[in-house]
Amino acid sequence: MRVLITGAAGYLGRGLRQPFEREGYTLRLMDIAPFESPHEKFIGDVAQLESVRKAVAGMDAMVIAHMAPRRPDAYVTPVVPFDVNVKGTANLFFAAAQSNVRKVVLISSTGVTVGHSAAASGLEHGHLVGPKSKDMYGLTKVLQEVMAEQFSREYGIGVSVLRVGHIVDQDAMQNKYGRKITTFEFSLTDRRDIGEVARLCLERSDIKYEVFNVMSTDESRSIADVQHTCDFLGWKARYPFAALPKPGAQA
């Protein structure tokens, strides 16, 4: 399977692609800045439709994992996040429909449900609750999901939306900003586990439009409806952050 991964040179993309590499997929990696990789590289801006068309051409599937930078000023106005997160995602789905790409994974966020009550995003409702956010970042992720649903419905693209938690590398125990993680929280999510869920989604032929909550910890299965993801895809997290001390644990 030939798979395009956007945002492939970023923190998430570098970890997300590892399960695909392990299983021998043919990858085309897209990012806006030059980077080193043994795979086919495509340097381009997702906000430019012609560039995106070239990146998508010849692909069987794609994983949309790019995101506007989370620097302090980036989300003050809609300019940067809407160009990258919203326009870029619209371009990718449009090009996918034109190129007859049949499978797409969108990396979303659990932040798309924070506009609901706390119970709405928990175990009882989980993956079935619609997007409803609060801030500019959340709004762009909500709009990504709205587009994903429409392109799936209108063009018959099989779309899997992954609502991921706090992305951390279990080996380094730090997040994308370099912050060390020393205490446990149920939403911790290793970027390689995200990649494995994405890979499993692309292997399914029966997905029309599905939402999956993705977190790595054992506790997330009983708190955030991650059990649905495990059951549907036959997935088990490889990186459960078991070494971190749990709240209230005895020293």
Relative to beta strand 174-175, strand 26-31 is unpaired
The pLDDT of residue 203 is 98
| Other Cβ atoms closer than 10 A to 66 | 25
3-state DSSP assignment of residue 23: coil
Residue 249 maps to a domain: no
The whole model's pTM is what? Answer: 0.94
Closest CA to 26 of 14, 16, 38: 38
The pLDDT of residue 122 is 55
Burial (CB count within 10 angstroms: exposed 0-12, middle 13-18, buried 19+), residue 196 = buried
The pLDDT of residue 118 is 67
Residue 238 maps to a domain: no
Q: What DSSP string describes 203-248? A: H-SS-SEEEEEE--STTHHHHSSHHHHHHHHT---S---TTSPPTT
pLDDT in tens, 237-248: 999 999 999 876
Question: Considering its fold, how many domains does the chain have in total?
Answer: 1
DSSP state of 125: T
DSSP state of 183: S
Residue 60 maps to a domain: yes
Residue 195 maps to a domain: yes
Segments of the chain scoring below 50 in pLDDT = 123, 251
Q: What are phi and psi of 215, to 5 degrees?
A: -145, 155
**Full residue range of the structural domain in which residue 145 is found:** 2-233
Residue 186 maps to a domain: yes
Helix ranges restricted to H, 77-211: 79-81, 88-98, 136-155, 191-203
Give the CATH number of the domain where residue 121 resides: 3.40.50.720
Six-digit token string for 167: 């992305």
Residue 242 maps to a domain: no
Relative to beta strand 61-64, strand 103-109 is parallel
Residue 251 maps to a domain: no
Residue 199 maps to a domain: yes
